[in-house]
């Protein structure tokens, strides 16, 4: 009896390993910062699997964590491609951890939205504003401005991603700064704003919190329009996107090929795909502004807030935004935290 038990365990183990091995041995590539719930990366990853046969697991790191990890791993890279806010892409190039690669359709990207040497390129962009779950407000009015959020009625209801690590957090911060009259040289308005906001007990997650807005855990989140639209039209939540009265900014998101990555061929294929018709269509349908504006479909465009609202959203000098990022982080850590 004992011997047969032993034999059973001995033989079942390799069978199990074989089965798991089979399921795990498909072509893979590693993407840092491809969260399921953000910008509908879930659908994009599925499309990549279907069209390219490459298995890319989803990853919840935010832009800051992605950059730090790539830098930490630069001698032995683990990731093949990375996705982050534009300023992080610029910083990645400066840190020397990304490789130059100009995917197919490179020429269709407008000049301001790509690195001339091919170290990063925009795949889509969004406008930062307020992602509001109306049900979770508990009867309170939907806020219309950045200043509204300082009111005590919204105590404990406001959330924003950590501006020192998440691109959306940093973008929101710069957006607030510009809206409140500051410039990229003068960050005091936004620092003061955060200090005041602190008294309203804000929630400061580090990673994408789309689901938590939908469920009502975070009633008001500084987030992009595309996430809000998705919540409203795809997941049918009672949510609304608000472009604050004082104004805001638009931010592109970029992708890079990691230097000396383990699967560079797969990485390149993925980058190509993100600019292809199919790849861009995923984002168009997810309410992002695809960088190849031809991919935008009219019905998706109709779901956006009217252009008059978007007039308040401005572009900024992203290179400068990248340059002042460290200074902002230090000020935020010292004065607000």
Partner 1 sequence: MRRRVKLYLLFMIAPALAVFGAFFLLPLARLAIASAAGPLRFKIYLLSLTNPRYFTTLLNTIVLSVAVTLATLIISGFSGVFLTRNDFRGKSFIVSMLTFPLAFPGVVVGFMIILLVGRQGLIGDVTQSLIGEKAVLAYSLVGLFLGYLYFSIPRVIITIMAAAEKIDPNLEEAARSLGASPFLVIKDVLIPALVPGLISSGAICFATSMGAFGTAFTLATDIDVLPIVIYTEFTLLANISGAAALSIVLGFITWIALSLARTAAGTTVAAAG
Partner 2 sequence: MMKKSKLFLAQLSLTLVVCAFLIVPVIQSVMAGLTVNYLIGLKSGITFVWFVRVWDLYRDTIFRSIMIGLACLGCTLILGVPAAYTMVKKQNRLTRLFEELLVTPLAVPGLATALALIISYGGLTGFRRSWLFILVGHVIFTLPFMVRSVIAVMSSVNLNQFEEGAASLGAGFWNRFFHIAIPNVMPGILAGSLMVFTLSIGEFNLTWMLHTPTTKTLPVGLADSYASMRLEIGSAYTIVFFLMIIPLLVAMQWVAKPKKIGVIAEKTETIQNVSRGTEMRKMESSPIYETVEEQRRAVSGTSLHLENCAKTFADGTQALKPFNLEVGAGETVVILGPSGCGKTTMLRIIAGLESPDPQGKIFFGDVEVTNVSIEKRNVGMVFQSYALFPNMNVAENIAYGLKVHGISGENKERRVSEMLEMMKITDLRNRRIDQLSGGQKQRVALARAIAVRPRLLLMDEPLTALDAKLRDALRVEIDSLLRSLGITAIYVTHDQAEAMALGDRIVVMEIARVAQIGTPREIYFNPQNRFVADFIGTINHIKCKVFEDQLTFPAGRIPLKSAPHIHARENEDVEIFFRPEHAEVVEAGQGHFKATVAASFFMGDHTRLILDWTGPDYLTIEAKGNQSFRKGQKIEIRLDPTALLTLKV
> Residue 186 phi/psi, 5° resolution?
-125, 105
Per-residue binding string, partner 2, 158-197, x by CB under 8 A, is ----------------------------------------
Q: How far is the CB of 9 from partner 1 (least distance, A)?
A: 19
**Any contact of residue 44 with partner 2 (CB under 8 A)?**
no
Residue 140 touches partner 1, criterion: CB under 8 A:
no
Give, in order, the Cα–Cα distances in Å from 282 to each of 40, 176, 227, 289. Answer: 8, 29, 13, 11
Q: Which stretch binds partner 1 (CB under 8 A): 65-73, 112-120, 178-186, 257-265?
A: 65-73
Residues 208-227 that bind partner 1 (CB under 8 A): 217
Q: Which does 239 bind (CB under 5 to 8 A by kind): partner 1, partner 2, none?
A: none
Q: Which residues, in sequence order, are CB contacts of 72 under 8 Å at separation 6+?
A: none
Give least dist CB 11 to partner 2, A. Answer: 12
CB of 173 to partner 1, least distance (A): 18
Q: Is 192 in the site for partner 1 (CB under 8 A)?
A: no
Interface with partner 1, residue 68, by CB under 8 A = yes
Q: Which part of the chain contacts partner 2 (CB under 8 A), choosing from 15-23, 164-172, 223-231, 281-289?
A: 15-23
For position 153 contacting partner 1 by CB under 8 A, the verdict is no
Is residue 308 near partner 2 by the rule CB under 8 A?
no
Q: Which stretch binds partner 2 (CB under 8 A): 10-18, 223-231, 270-278, 294-302?
A: 10-18
Choose which of 8, 24, 71, 211 interacts with partner 1 (CB under 8 A): 71
Contacts of 117 (CB under 8 A, 6+ apart): 93, 100
Which contacts (CB < 8 Å, 24+ apart) does range 112-116 have?
112/315, 112/318, 113/86, 113/252, 113/291, 115/89, 115/90
Name the one range near partner 2 by CB under 8 A: 11-19, 162-170, 281-289, 326-334.
11-19
Q: Report how far residue 293's alpha carbon sits from residue 273's, in angstroms, rounded to the nearest whole number.
A: 16
Sign of the CA dihedral with 175 first, then 177, 181, and 183 last:
negative
In degrees and rounded to multiples of 5, residue 215 shows phi and psi of: -80, -10
Q: Which element (helix H / strand E) includes 85?
A: strand 81-85
In the complex, the smallest distance separating the C-beta of residue 137 from partner 2, rounded to whole angstroms, is 13
Burial of residue 143 (number of CB atoms within 10 Å: 0-12, 13-18, 19+): buried
Distances (CA, A) of 224 to 51, 164, 251, 297: 28, 17, 9, 19
Supply the minimum distance, in Å, between the C-beta of residue 17 and partner 2: 7
- 277 Ramachandran zone, left/alpha/beta (phi>0; psi -120 to 50): alpha
**Binder of partner 1 out of 52, 205, 272, 312 (CB under 8 A):** 205
Q: Which of 47, 150, 180, 203 binds partner 1 (CB under 8 A)?
A: 203
Site for partner 2 in 199-218 (CB under 8 A): 205-212, 214-217
Residue 65 in contact with partner 1, rule: CB under 8 A: yes
The half-sphere exposure of 305 on its side-chain side, counting CA atoms within 13 A, is 22
Interatomic CA distance for residues 83 and 88, integer angstroms: 9
Task: Give the three-state DSSP class for 55.
Answer: strand
Residue with tokens 């001698």: 75
Residues making contact with partner 2 (CB under 8 A): 2, 13, 16-17, 20, 23-24, 28, 30-32, 35-37, 57-60, 73, 75-76, 78-79, 136, 205-212, 214-217, 262
Residues making contact with partner 1 (CB under 8 A): 64-65, 68-69, 71-72, 156, 165, 201, 203, 205-206, 217, 337
């Amino acid at each position: 009896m004992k011997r047969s038990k032993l034999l059973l365990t001995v033989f079942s183990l390799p069978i199990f390993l074989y089965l798991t091995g089979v399921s795990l041995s498909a072509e893979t590539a590693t993407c840092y910062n491809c969260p399921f719930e953000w910008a509908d990366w879930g659908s994009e990853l599925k499309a990549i699997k279907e069209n390219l046969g490459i298995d890319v697991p989803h990853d919840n790191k935010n832009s800051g964590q992605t950059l730090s990890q790539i830098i930490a791993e630069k001698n032995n890279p683990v990731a093949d491609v990375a996705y982050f806010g534009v300023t992080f892409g610029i910083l990645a190039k400066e840190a020397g951890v990304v490789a130059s690669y100009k995917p197919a359709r490179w020429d269709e990207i407008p000049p301001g939205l790509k690195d001339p040497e091919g170290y990063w390129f925009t795949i889509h962009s969004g406008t930062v504003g307020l992602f509001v779950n109306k049900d979770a407000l508990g009867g309170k009015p939907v806020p219309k401005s950045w200043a509204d959020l300082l009111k005590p009625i919204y105590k404990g209801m406001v959330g924003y991603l950590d501006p020192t690590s998440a691109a959306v957090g940093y973008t929101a911060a710069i957006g607030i700064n510009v809206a409140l009259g500051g410039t990229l040289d003068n960050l005091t308005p936004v620092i003061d704003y955060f200090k005041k906001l602190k008294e309203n007990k804000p929630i400061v997650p580090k990673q994408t919190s789309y689901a938590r807005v939908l469920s009502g855990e975070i009633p008001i989140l500084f987030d992009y329009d595309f996430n809000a639209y998705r919540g409203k039209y795809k997941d049918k939540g009672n949510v609304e996107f608000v472009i604050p009265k004082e104004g805001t900014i638009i931010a592109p998101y970029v992708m890079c090929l990691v230097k000396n990555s383990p699967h560079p061929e797969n990485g390149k294929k993925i980058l190509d795909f993100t600019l292809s018709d199919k790849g861009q269509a995923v984002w168009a349908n997810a309410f992002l502004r695809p960088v190849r504006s031809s991919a935008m479909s009219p019905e998706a465009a109709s779901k956006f807030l009217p252009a008059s609202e978007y007039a308040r959203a401005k572009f900024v000098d992203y290179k400068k935004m990248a340059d002042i990022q460290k200074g902002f982080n230090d000020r935020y850590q010292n004065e607000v935290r």
